[in-house]
Structure 1
Amino acid sequence: MLQEQIEFADAHIRGEQYRAVVDASGVLSGFVQFFPIVGVTRLGLGLRPDLIGKGSGIGLQFVQLLTREAQKIAPGHEIDLEVLVWNERAIRTYERAGFTITDTYEKQTPMGMSNFHCMVYDAASPN
């Protein structure tokens, strides 16, 4: 966790990898980190909790927007993300946006060990 705080405090990394998503009024709606890995852009994303789960489709639109932006930033790179295995609502949204589960593994979090799916974007999917 300390490493994450240091990373976010680094102005260069923050400017290169992080973006805020704001609504038409300029209010923060979410964020994304476009984390570069060799040949891959990993999305780390978050949407304001009060905006999700209402059937509005904003979660899907958010993921589609971020996926398009990742394609612009690093054309030809694979796009993936990690999601906790219990987060079924997010998994369904990612699947609707064209992501598929390609791996499942356990990794350390600030709360202890947790199981994650890695989901990879299929650019050919009709989303």
Structure 2
Amino acid sequence: MIVPMTEEYAVRYLDWSYPEPYEFYNIPRAHYDECLEEVMENLPYWFAVIDENDRLLGFYEFSFHEENEEKVMEIGLGLCPEETGKGKGLEFVKQAIAHGRRHFCFPDGPVVLRVLDSNQRAIKTYERAGFKVYGEQKASSFGKPVTFLCMKNSGL
């Protein structure tokens, strides 16, 4: 079930702990407060994915901007550590896109996302969902240099 993000769900998300080689996605304690503040300041664009027992399974984050004079919906998403690697990713991605299109009245047009270039498991899932790499972005994440692949899907 997809529900609006709350502070309680955001705190649960920030406490997730991924094993290697996915530890990049663990929020360092030193940055916990700023990350929580960022989520809370953008609540209308964040959603929690929960099960019938109110267990946080994942989250979706949406933003909208122009790329090459075209309006795009950008998605950020995360599946809780216990649910990764179980073949649920493709449906999770499709659900994110469908929810964003419905909720934000964005029935068509491209969907973009950014993924850590070393996260081959996620890249394969996004490719199966119809995304293709169209660029890369160098960034700093919590003081460490990283490279994200920029991926686009105009078919879902």
Is the pair's TM-score, using the shorter chain for normalization, greater than 0.5?
yes
* Residue segments in structure 1 that go unaligned for 5+ positions in a row: none
Tell me the secondary structure at the aligned position of residue 25 of structure 1.
Answer: coil
Matches of 1:90 and 1:115 in 2, distance apart? 14
Matches of 1:110 and 1:27 in 2, distance apart? 28
Matches of 1:79 and 1:33 in 2, distance apart? 12
What is the identity, as a one-letter code, of the residue corresponding to 1:18? Answer: W
Matches of 2:97 and 2:35 in 1, distance apart? 23
4+ runs of 1 displaced by more than 4 Å? Answer: 1-5
Q: Which has the higher strand share?
A: 1
The C-alpha deviation readout for 1:85-123, integer Å capped at 9, x for no partner, is 100000000111111111112112114210110010131
The C-alpha deviation readout for 1:17-73, integer Å capped at 9, x for no partner, is 00001123331100010122231111111101111113xx21111001001112222
Partner residue of 1:27? Answer: 55
Q: CA RMSD in A?
A: 1.9
What is the identity, as a one-letter code, of the residue corresponding to 2:153? Answer: Y
Partner residue of 1:80? Answer: 112
Matches of 1:9 and 1:47 in 2, distance apart? 19
Checking the alignment, whether the CA contact within 8 Å between 2:109 and 2:154 is kept in structure 1 is no
Partner residue of 2:121? Answer: 89
Checking the alignment, whether the CA contact within 8 Å between 1:42 and 1:81 is kept in structure 2 is yes
Write the mapping of 1:30-69 to structure 2, written as runs, cut at 5 A. 30-38=58-66, 39-54=71-86, 57-69=87-99
What is the identity, as a one-letter code, of the residue corresponding to 2:39? Answer: F
Checking the alignment, whether the CA contact within 8 Å between 2:131 and 2:151 is kept in structure 1 is yes
In structure 2, relative to structure 1, the CA distance for the partners of 1:3 and 1:49 (3 Å cut) is closer
Matches of 1:69 and 1:104 in 2, distance apart? 26
Partner residue of 2:10? Answer: none
In structure 2, relative to structure 1, the CA distance for the partners of 1:5 and 1:90 (3 Å cut) is same
* Residue segments in structure 2 that go unaligned for 5+ positions in a row: 1-30
Checking the alignment, whether the CA contact within 8 Å between 2:114 and 2:151 is kept in structure 1 is yes
Q: If the length of structure 1 is used for normalisation, what is the TM-score? A: 0.82
Partner residue of 1:100? Answer: 132
Alignment length (residue pairs): 119
